[in-house]
Chains A and B, each alone.
Chain A
Amino acid sequence: MALLQIAEPGLSAAPHEHRLAIGIDLGTTNSLVATVRSGETAVIEDEAGRALLPSVVRYMHGDSPEVGYEAQLRQSDDPHNTIVSVKRFMGRGLKDVPGAAATPYRFVDAPGMVRLETRAGVKSPVEVSSEILKVLRSRAEAALGGELTGAVITVPAYFDDAQRQATKDAARLAGLNVLRLLNEPTAAAIAYGLDNASEGTFCIYDLGGGTFDVSILRLRQGIFEVVATNGDSALGGDDFDERIARWATEQGKVAELQVTDARLLLSLARKAKETLTDNDSARITAALASGQELDLTLSAETFFELTADLIAKTLAPTRRALRDAGLGVEDIDGVVLVGGSTRMRHVRSAVGEFFEREPLTNLDPDKVVALGAAMQANLLAGNRKADDWLLLDVIPLSLGLETMGGLAEKVIPRNATIPVARAQDFTTFKDGQTAMSIHVVQGERELVSDCRSLARFELRGIPPMVAGAARIRVSFQVDADGLLSVSAMEQTSGVQATIEVKPSYGLSDDEIAGMLQDSYTNAQRDIESRNLREQRVDGLRLIEATQAALDQDGARLLSDVERISIERAMETLRVLLNQSDYGAIKRASESLNRATAKFAARRMDASIQSALSGKRLDALEA
């Protein structure tokens, strides 16, 4: 029997048509589901009253897998079949997963996305994630007493196309209707912005189990805008656990660590770490496979020393995000802490010191993201008036096209808010060109070879025209989930081609961070090589045009002496094009231009005369 919830004025649903919507934080370490009931946003707990579901899946013989706490308990004694932190593998090839070698899994390198061999067969990260989502879905259905209308699922701001697509696929596999993917920090901002009616510029500092994300958001009259994002995909609470485990191994003079010992030590380390959040010391006792017994006491002070550099590592991306936003710490009106790891005292104090203010902590840091997602889901499902608030996200790295000479032309700049559509016109380079190949790239660098290739496709059937006459409009569209589609259309004939960009695997957070870093350090060199390439393209075009003119009218309009001097200037330029002095290329192009000035004038006169005599002008130009 369905129980009723209080609706917004005028928004009561017809019976059996309740718009039950949920928000899911699909975390590396823990996942949660939340919903809005009678206007109240809350995390849905399991029968035992637990809000978190550890993102751990243990495959069994035949039966459906264990998910959550039970699976987590078996981590150390069944490491091959117990998948933890599967989020790291979403939409990634084996070579894109940092530290894959250190995990106990039996990887199968499949095209596009890595797969894991378990006793229940080979599983893709999408399937593993869908097991987690299935549990959250049935938890929500039990709590809401009906079928779900849809879900908002959060992803790290840095997730690329392939990772977002994989997340969507996992949700579909779990029988969820995805209303939208939402960036985690944006979800956190929603949770805080609405509950506290805050306005201003905020920094969202999210240190979870395995990832660090930092975002600068602007909230104005209920409108959220993400102005910059940055982070580190391989930094989180797990690293703090590892430090403690390593310390324990050294302190206990453990000679040889079995796989099961390593897992055991890590989970004991995590317990000790969490204990140190509210206590000044933690005891670690363990019986290792070798029979050795460990009994150690870790003080908070030692722990802080062991991990101080990890906290410092979060401040570098934080600085970069501020710089991208063109802001200083004094411009930040509030700092929001997200992620279980921001419970640690030394993290809080370091962040507070950096921003010279106390961070906001009044919402539970590990629930914030799910709460915000639930609010967004409630809105998208139609349970609130849509104009209540608006939400904007950004593109992490510029999207563009390869143009002549291997240069990257940006179509949508980095940090543009999504959804977004931009178009740019291009033309043909050669006379009679009937096809154009379109190469979609992502990155900040000037040269295509330094950017990430996302997709290639061809626009065919362009009617033959003189070089530069075709008008090819290339449109980029990024939807609200951050997924890109590109289409190209020749304007005069209407021929078109479209591609949905689904790279087999995309950019990792590290790659994004690395590419951004590169774009700054290489800015000068990039400008020089852009100059060189542009001069080369111009020079080549000039030679081709001159040659075409010579072939056509040289004999008719030039004396031998004139022709030879033009050919000499062409030859000089041709030689210089193979060298890398762009100044020299520029000068040679200019002198070729001067050498052909008279010739060009005569051709012009001739074409006017023939136009007057009834010939078509464009027949001469061709």
Chain B
Amino acid sequence: MAITLSENAAKRVQKFLDQRGKGIGLRLGVRTSGCSGMAYTLEFVDEAQPEDLAFESHGVTVLTDPKSLAFIDGTELDFVREGLNEGFKFNNPNVKNTCGCGESFNI
């Protein structure tokens, strides 16, 4: 069971955390909503929750809740640039189809 960051993603997360000046890590999660069932969430973490599961990847602490983990276990978070646009991308092995938007998916 694990969630990992690509090296590039870890570098970015660390930089954003440094600029923000506070925060203990990154939270990955899943919530139900969107055009094909579920959606990813990506947030800074100031405080860990008791039920949180923690992973360490390239020096960055990644937190998730157990319910979310069932859907995103094995995910590698990457940071990519597409033209002028740049941001994070979930490479989630559990996903059967996405809606093409990159934000929501089905298992």
Interaction A to B: yes
> Taking beta carbons and an 8 Å cutoff, which residues of A are in contact with B?
1-12, 14-16, 37-40, 44-45, 47, 139, 142-145, 197
How many whole Å from B16's CB to the nearest CB in chain A?
Answer: 5
Question: Contact: A16 with B103, CB < 8 Å?
Answer: yes
- Measured CB to CB, the closest approach of chain B to A367, in angstroms, equals 15
Chain B 8-46 interface residues, beta-carbon cutoff 8 Å to A: 12-13, 15-16, 19-21, 26-27, 29, 31, 33-35, 39-46
Asked if A10 and B34 sit within 8 Å, CB to CB, the answer is no
Q: How far is the CA of A7 from the CA of B46 in the complex (A)?
A: 12
B35 touches A142 (CB 8 A): no
Question: Which A residues touch B82, using CB under 8 A?
Answer: 1, 3, 145
- Indicate whether B87 reaches chain A with its CB closer than 8 angstroms: yes
List of A residues within 8 angstroms of B104 by Cβ: 15
How far does the alpha carbon of A11 sit from the alpha carbon of B41 in the complex, in Å? 9
Q: Is the CB of A5 within 8 A of B84?
A: no
Q: A146 to nearest B CB, angstroms?
A: 9
Contacts of B70 in A (CB 8 A): none
Is B83 interfacial (CB-CB < 8 Å)?
Answer: yes
Give the Cβ gap from B44 to chain A, nearest Cβ, in Å. Answer: 6
Number of interface residues of B (CB under 8 A): 38
A145 touches B42 (CB 8 A): no
Q: Which residues of A have CB within 8 Å of B41?
A: 7, 12
A6 and B44 in contact, given A16-B101, A143-B85 (Cβ under 8 angstroms): yes
17 CB-based A-B contacts, threshold 8 Å: A4-B42, A7-B41, A8-B43, A8-B44, A14-B34, A14-B39, A15-B35, A15-B39, A15-B101, A16-B34, A16-B35, A16-B101, A37-B87, A38-B12, A39-B19, A40-B19, A44-B84
CB distance from A34 to the nearest CB of B (A): 13
Contact B101 A7 (CB under 8 A): no
- Nearest CB in chain B to that of A47: its residue: B84
Which residue numbers of B lie inside 8 Å of A, CB to CB? 12-13, 15-16, 19-21, 26-27, 29, 31, 33-35, 39-47, 80, 82-90, 100-104
Q: Is the CB of B42 within 8 A of A7?
A: yes
CB nearest to B87 among chain A residues: A3
- State whether A12 touches B34 (Cβ < 8 A): no
Say yes or no: B87 contacts A14, CB within 8 Å: no
Rounded to whole Å, the gap between the CB of A48 and the closest CB of chain B is: 11
CA distance A143 to B40 in the complex (A): 20
Q: Are B13 and A6 in contact (CB under 8 A)?
A: yes
> Contact between A3 and B16 (Cβ–Cβ < 8 Å)?
no
A499 → chain B closest CB, angstroms:
45
Interface centre among B12, B41, B47, B89 (most CB of A within 10 A): B41
With A6-B88, A38-B12 as given contacts, are A1 and B101 in contact (CB-CB < 8 Å)?
yes
Contact A11 B85 (CB under 8 A): no
List of B residues within 8 angstroms of A143 by Cβ: 84-86
CA gap between A369 and B29 in the complex, in Å: 35
CB <8 Å contact, A6 and B16: yes
Chain A, Cβ-Cβ closest to B99: A15
| Complex CA–CA separation, A406 to B89 (angstroms) | 68
Complex Cα distance A143/B44, Å? 22
With the chains together, A5 CA to B20 CA distance in Å?
Answer: 14
Please give, as numbers and ranges, the residues of chain A lying within 8 Å of B46 by CB-CB distance. Answer: 9
Task: List chain B residues, Cβ under 8 A from A197.
Answer: 21
Enumerate chain A residues within 8 angstroms of B20, measured Cβ to Cβ.
39
List, in ascending order, chain B residues with CB within 8 A of A7's CB: 41-44
- Taking CB atoms, residues of chain B closer than 8 Å to A37 are 86-87
B69 to chain A, nearest CB (A): 17
Task: Note all chain B residues with C-beta closer than 8 A to A10.
Answer: 43
Report chain A residues within 8 Å CB of B35: 15-16
- B43/A2 in contact, CB under 8 A: no
Partner of B16, one of A16, A39, A47: A39
Contact B101 A3 (CB under 8 A): no
Q: Is there an interface contact between B15 and A40, defined as CB atoms closer than 8 Å?
A: yes
Residues from chain A with Cβ under 8 Å of B80 in the complex:
3
Question: Once bound together, how far apart are the Cα atoms of A44 and B85, in whole Å?
Answer: 10
A449-B103 Cα distance, complex, nearest whole Å: 62
A1, A16, A40, A142: the one contacting B84 at CB < 8 Å is A142
Q: Would you list the 5 A-B pairs with minimal beta carbon distance, nearest first?
A: A3-B87, A15-B103, A15-B34, A12-B41, A143-B84
Closest chain A residue, CB of each to CB of B85: A145
Contact A4 B40, beta carbon cutoff 8 Å:
yes
Minimal beta-carbon separation of B94 from chain A (angstroms): 17
Cβ-defined contact, B84 with A4, below 8 A: no
Report Cα–Cα, A44/B84, bound state, in Å: 8
